[in-house]
Amino acid sequence: MNMLVTSAGRRVKVVQYLKKAINDIGGNVIAVDCDINAPALYFADEYEIIPRIDDKEYLSSILAICEKRNIKGVISLIDPELEILAKHKSRFDEIGTSLILSELDMIQYSFDKQETYNYLTELGIAAVPTYSRLEEVEELLNKHELAFPLVIKPGKGSASIGIEIVSNKADLGNVFLKEANLIIQPHYLEREFGIDVYIDMINGELVDLFIKEKIKMRSGETDKSISVHNEKIESVVKDFISKTNFVGPIDIDCFEYKGEYYISEINPRFGGGYPHAYEMGCDFMKYIVANLDGNANESYEGYKYEEGYVMMKYDDVVLRKEK
């Protein structure tokens, strides 16, 4: 069984974990990226350089690699690529390659933060209130139904790029004058959590989850976190999965506010904090291999990790010789 990791970038740990699982069954991991200096390339069994995702040859290059290397499954690690791959799922099916990601509609709901809120609210799932119209927010502020500080961010952004926190109406209006397609949310200042979830790709059942309280963030990724057990969050996740059609690895962000929990974002891929889950025994790679072999995983029966363990990520250096 050979696996392809696309847009490998800096996700060295994910490539290493996947390589261990695939090598154990006699397969190889091939990493691809448009940048020859993407560190994760050099931790796979082999690598190839491909065009950028906005290049017209991008998709054909991925499909060609899958055919040439007899790829069983494809995992993408960046948001913009997910929609492109999902739109062409049938072309991968035709060559016997499975995409390790959710269906297109789930990905589109996830990538648009206003749509995420609307979708979850319609399903009766608690989500961080999200607004796209400045006039609506100003009206809520005047009625004291919303209060500063407020968070403003791109409606289709990722990696915490472009986020601003405003504390008055003047700043709120100025930010909206500078950019288009922004959304506004209340700034919940209590606690933030990340939940790594694996949903079986065959039967759609919850297989595993890992809850971490975020201690320190950098560029939208969790740098420091502590493992926790939380029955309320566990219940929110179970309810979410029972009402949606996500599959495979997903990453959910949620905030605590006045003792309740609200989903903020859904990332239908491995999250940047997944190494914490893996090192604590939540081996999503094993679940992926089982699904690609046509086997459903055992359904979730409770936490598979201990609470109270702190993850501290740090940088390392990779050197390569120019050819």
**Which architecture, in CATH terms, is 189-312?**
2-Layer Sandwich (3.30)
- CATH number of this structure's domain 129-186: 3.30.1490.20
- Residue ranges, comma separated, of all CATH 3.30.1490.20 domains in the chain are 129-186
The helix/strand/coil state of 161 is coil
Cβ neighbours of residue 266 closer than 8 Å, sequence gap 6 or more: 109, 110, 116, 246, 250, 251, 252, 253
Q: Give the type of residue at 133.
A: R
pTM (whole model) above 0.85: yes
Residue 113 to residue 265: CA distance in whole angstroms: 7
**Which architecture, in CATH terms, is 2-101?**
3-Layer(aba) Sandwich (3.40)
**CB-based burial label for 140 (10 Å; 0-12, 13-18, 19+):** middle
Joined tokens for residue 229: 């057990």
**Residue 42 belongs to what H/E stretch?**
none
- Residue ranges, comma separated, of all CATH 3.30.470.20 domains in the chain are 189-312
Tens digit of pLDDT per residue, the chain (323 long)? 999 999 877 889 999 999 999 999 999 999 999 999 999 999 999 999 999 999 999 999 999 999 999 999 999 988 889 999 999 999 999 999 999 999 999 999 999 999 999 999 999 999 999 999 999 999 999 999 999 999 999 888 665 567 899 999 999 989 888 888 899 999 987 899 999 999 999 999 999 999 999 997 666 567 789 999 999 999 999 999 999 999 999 999 999 999 999 999 999 999 989 999 999 999 999 999 999 999 999 999 999 999 999 988 777 777 887 76
